[in-house]
Amino acid sequence: MSSQNTVTPSDKALQARRRFLREMAGAAGGACMLALGVGMVGREASAKPAMAIRPPGALAEPDFLSACVRCGLCVRDCPYDTLKLSELGDNVAVGTPYFTARDIPCEMCEDIPCVKACPTGALDRELTDIGEARMGLAVLIDHETCLNFLGLRCDVCYRVCPVIDQAITLELVHNPRSDRHAMLLPTVHSDACTGCGKCEKSCVLPESAIRVLPHKLAQGQSAEHYRKGWAEKEKAGGSLIGEQEQLPMRGLEDREYGDTRVTPDYQPAKPGGLDSGWKP
Amino acid sequence: MNTAATTNNVATERSAKRSRASTQPGAEAVRVKGRLRANKWLLLRRISQFGILALFLVGPWFGWWIVKGNLSSSLTLGVLPLTDPYLLLQSFSAGQLPYQEALLGGGIVLAFYLLFGGRLFCSWVCPVNLVTDAAAWLRRRLNIKGGKTPSAYTRYWLLAFTLGASALTGSLAWEWVNPVSMLHRGLIFGFGLAWGVVLAVFLYDLLFASRGWCGHVCPVGAFYGLLGSGALIRVTADKRRACDDCMDCFNVCPEPQVIRPALKAVGQDHPLILDKDCTSCGRCIDVCGKDVFRLTTRFDRSES
């Protein structure tokens, strides 16, 4: 009995070890749960909403999130107060810079001060020509309210575009409503659009019909194997399958291939009523 | 019966005194040294904390751009870059190599805390310290006891896990929730719901865990603690023979376990507090009516 009561040094050490291990397990478990929770918050929050556009030169979103230290130096050096740091609850990765084009668009400074200010390279200094920036892509998102699509002459988005006639062009299309006017449709070209958002900002509608969206939302992607026949033909300097055989068309020998004009003696079918008189 | 009542009285008086001492440590120091000297290090610390905050704020408030950015990374007077090395570590883990400016800034900060003491950041710079100090003060004042304080090792595990999570998710994992950067960024750039996170830390320290956040959970503090484990500036209990066991230092110390080895010579002979968890806040120096403690270097092991 006495031997049970005496605590030998090895017992003490054993107890201390047990306590240490228990404490460590608790700490590791708690920390793991916390880290897991953080990971889940992060995963959810890393989905960038469509209205939040990154500053020029921003790395691709996953790289950006690992490089940006949320210091706000880009925000401070932006002369137009375009950039904001996201706050908790803004839906953008907390503390990272973004801008809302409809509020304040990017003015596309030639010296790109925000990129220069970034100490980590989350905004890539390889970008020296602001025309090469791809912050997002403008999309004429609503064809129903856009005034030009209604056949009117608004053109504001086209005229404010810093890359006018390259990023946005006006495409002439027949107006089927009046049948005698043209519609000049603002058309965005992804190879020139920087995503500055001036078009979205200046759209005269209460809700902008043209919007800058992240590329992921704005653009599709061609399949790897997809080839455009006309592009391949141009590249090869001629048709890849040789000259096409021109097959004789009986009764149409005096016409070019593909000529679909009707013959002068052609009589269109009379409009049919209940009894059109048609017989097989 | 009379004697029993007297002893009972004495006992209640003593316990009342003890509870008053624990709710208001430093009362004796105020009597002996005067209010100012009994709060000297606290005042200096507050000046440092608010001064640093002010340096960051005079830019956005008055347009005097002395310091741009925030504690995560900043640029002082357009030349001196400073970057949080723990953030850089997360960035490395996530697979990024930042620009030289950030590396240089991180190096400067790293060198400073390596040399002088990692947890100087916690007590002299970190804005959350104001929150947790307030919680600790209120906890003493309201005499809130109990709760479940997690193991002090939690922070080191969390430090490791945040770096692991950064590597796994490819982002700065801890920055999704970090109350330190959230509070500082919020004060400078504007709050969203980050108030909630800061409030949560306050309530956690107040109601659930005494000195729970800074002393047991925060991986930023853990990182700076590890950084400063060999640093110069240390607190010594060189007049420990004058100690009358009033426990005031234990009551105010955010990391009270660091005092015992030095003050009571448990596991070491010299009176120097060498534990990496010591934040060198100097509060023990303030509240001690016997002037047991003082600030010194790690080489000064003298005892008087």
Is pLDDT of B155 > 80? yes
The pTM for the full model equals 0.80
Q: Do A77 and B72 touch (CB under 8 A)?
A: no
**Pick among B76, B177, B180 to test the A interface (most A CBs inside 10 A):** B177
How close A105 comes to chain B (CA, Å)?
A: 19
**A164: DSSP letter:** B
Tokens 């791809």 sit on residue? A134
Backbone angles phi and psi of B290, in degrees to 5: -105, 5
Residue B164 binned pLDDT confidence (cut-offs 50, 70, 90): confident
Region A263-271 average pLDDT: 69
Alpha carbon distance B171, B95 (integer Å): 9
Bigger pLDDT: A120 or A274? Answer: A120
pLDDT digits (tens, 9 = 90+) for A75-92: 999 999 999 998 887 888
One-letter amino acid of B68: K
Residue A24 binned pLDDT confidence (cut-offs 50, 70, 90): confident
Q: How far is CA B181 from the centre of its chain?
A: 15
Q: How far is CA B60 from the centre of its chain?
A: 27
Select from A27, A41, A67 the Cβ nearest to the Cβ of B176: A41
Q: What is the pLDDT of residue A1?
A: 43
Q: Helix, strand, coil proportions of chain B in percent (round to 5)?
A: 60, 5, 35
pLDDT digits (tens, 9 = 90+) for B49-71: 999 999 999 988 998 889 998 89
Q: Do A71 and B176 touch (CB under 8 A)?
A: no
* A163 CB-near residues (< 8 Å, 6+ apart): A131, A192, A193, A194
pLDDT digits (tens, 9 = 90+) for B257-298: 888 888 888 888 888 888 889 999 999 998 888 888 988 888
Is pLDDT of B1 > 50? no
Structure tokens that stand for A36 in this block: 């897991």
Q: Do B153 and A23 touch (CB under 8 A)?
A: yes
pLDDT digits (tens, 9 = 90+) for A149-179: 999 999 999 999 999 999 999 999 999 888 8
Is pLDDT of A19 > 90? no
Residue B20 binned pLDDT confidence (cut-offs 50, 70, 90): low
Region B152-168 average pLDDT: 86
Q: Do B170 and A65 touch (CB under 8 A)?
A: yes
Which residues from B are below 8 Å from A73, CB to CB? 68-69, 73-75
CB B184 within 8 A of CB B175: no
Which residue in A has a C-alpha nearest to residue B98's C-alpha? A120
Backbone angles phi and psi of A124, in degrees to 5: -75, 125
Region A4-9 average pLDDT: 60
Q: What is the pLDDT of residue A50?
A: 74
Q: Do B191 and A87 touch (CB under 8 A)?
A: yes
Is pLDDT of A247 > 80? no
Which residues from B are below 8 Å from A77, CB to CB? 68
* B13 CB-near residues (< 8 Å, 6+ apart): none
pLDDT digits (tens, 9 = 90+) for B202-243: 998 888 888 888 988 899 999 999 988 888 899 998 888 888
Size of interface A-B (CB pairs under 8 A): 177
Alpha carbon distance A203, A133 (integer Å): 22
Q: Do A69 and B182 touch (CB under 8 A)?
A: no
pLDDT digits (tens, 9 = 90+) for B106-148: 999 999 999 998 899 999 999 999 999 999 889 888 888 877 8
Regarding beta strands A210-213 and A137-140, do their DSSP bridges make them parallel or antiparallel, or are they unpaired?
Answer: antiparallel
Q: What is the pLDDT of residue A2?
A: 45
Alpha carbon distance B169, B165 (integer Å): 6
Instruction: Report chain A's mean pLDDT, rounded to a whole number.
Output: 84
**Pick among A44, A76, A120, A123 to test the B interface (most B CBs inside 10 A):** A120
Q: What is the pLDDT of residue A270?
A: 64
Backbone angles phi and psi of B245, in degrees to 5: 55, 40
Region B23-28 average pLDDT: 76
ipTM score: 0.82
Which residues from B are below 8 Å from A70, CB to CB? 70, 72, 172, 175, 181, 185
